[in-house]
Amino acid sequence: MSAGWVSPAVLVLAMLAPTTAVSEELPPRKTFREASRIFFDDGAYLFSFPKRTTTKGAWLTAGFVAGTVLLIQRDDAIRAHVLEPPDSGTADRVADLFEPLGRSYVEAAALGIAYAAARGSGHPRAMSTAATAFEAWLWTFVITSGAKVAFGRANPTGDAEAHDFFTGGDIFPSGHTSRSFAIAAVLADHYGPKAAWIAYPVAALIGLATVQQDTHWTSDVLAGAGLGLAIGSGIAHRHPAQASGSPLEPGEMSRARAAWRLAPAPGGAMVSIAY
């Protein structure tokens, strides 16, 4: 591993390291102009990370960077193992089920539908959460796209090797994973542990599905998870969950409660979430 790769990796992840600080209360996104202003204000918040660097954030960043670097050393071996003929097609079926959930247009459509449903049913908390998740999704999309161009990593196909960076590729970090973890971070922040127990495993399965389908290296997935967590957590801290439609008191953060259950459904199972 060359020092030329580690340096930009540290820069990208450290730039978005999670912090514990909660910024000033922001108004709801009632108009397109307000939403646009908040979007760019939140972007400035993300990129002004030195003001809020914490010990926890530094250690989390170091952990993700170290894990990514170590996985790069094993990516070729992991890929060879994954591509070995399986005893059954279970892994492929799981990958085929979860990979589409991480496509950008599927996630954007799902968040749009969630926002419209919440607005139509008069649930301001759910509406705010959907809007915050979409903003986290959008910032993650933008930042991940820039990182892909900067790193230029080759796809894991043909004769490509895990160390083939700066070759014009566009897969590091994984966009499927980063966007999914950004959404999961918002849901976990706003709805607590029960939502986290669903959102994070789904995000992880989406990322691992791309490894199973040979469209990403495993280290792409870990880097994407770290990036998405950092962005999603940062945006969520800017827009804490509200227990009602009324504004929060300055400095107050309240968590909503989410309840979920697993029920049989045609061809599989269905998870329902009440909030």
Model confidence pLDDT, tens digit, residues 32-80: 777 788 888 888 888 887 677 778 878 888 899 999 999 999 999 999 8
Q: What global pTM score does this model have?
A: 0.77
Print the SS3 string covering the chain.
Answer: CCHHHHHHHHHHHHHCCCCCCCCCCCCCCCCHHHHHHHHHHHHHHHHCHHHHCCHHHHHHHHHHHHHHHHHHHHHHHHHHHHCCCCCCCHHHHHHHHHHHHHCHHHHHHHHHHHHHHHHHHCCHHHHHHHHHHHHHHHHHHHHHHHHHHHHCCCCCCCCCCCCCCCCCCCCCCCHHHHHHHHHHHHHHHHHCHHHHHHHHHHHHHHHHHHHHCCCCCHHHHHHHHHHHHHHHHHHHHHCCCCCCCCCCCCCCCCCCCCEEEEEEECCEEEEEEEC
The reported pLDDT for the residue numbered 267 is 52
What single letter denotes the amino acid at residue 234?
G
Share of the chain above pLDDT 70, in %: 75
- What tokens were used for 190? 């706003």
Residues of the chain with pLDDT under 50: 1-25, 244-262, 269-275
The reported pLDDT for the residue numbered 1 is 40
The reported pLDDT for the residue numbered 231 is 94
The CA distance from 78 to 249, in Å, is 50
Query: Nearest CA to 27 among 275, 271, 246, 266?
Result: 246
List the chain domain ranges: 3-240
The reported pLDDT for the residue numbered 13 is 44
The CA distance from 219 to 172, in Å, is 8
- Is the distance from CB of 42 to CB of 235 less than 8 angstroms? yes
The reported pLDDT for the residue numbered 199 is 95
The reported pLDDT for the residue numbered 256 is 42
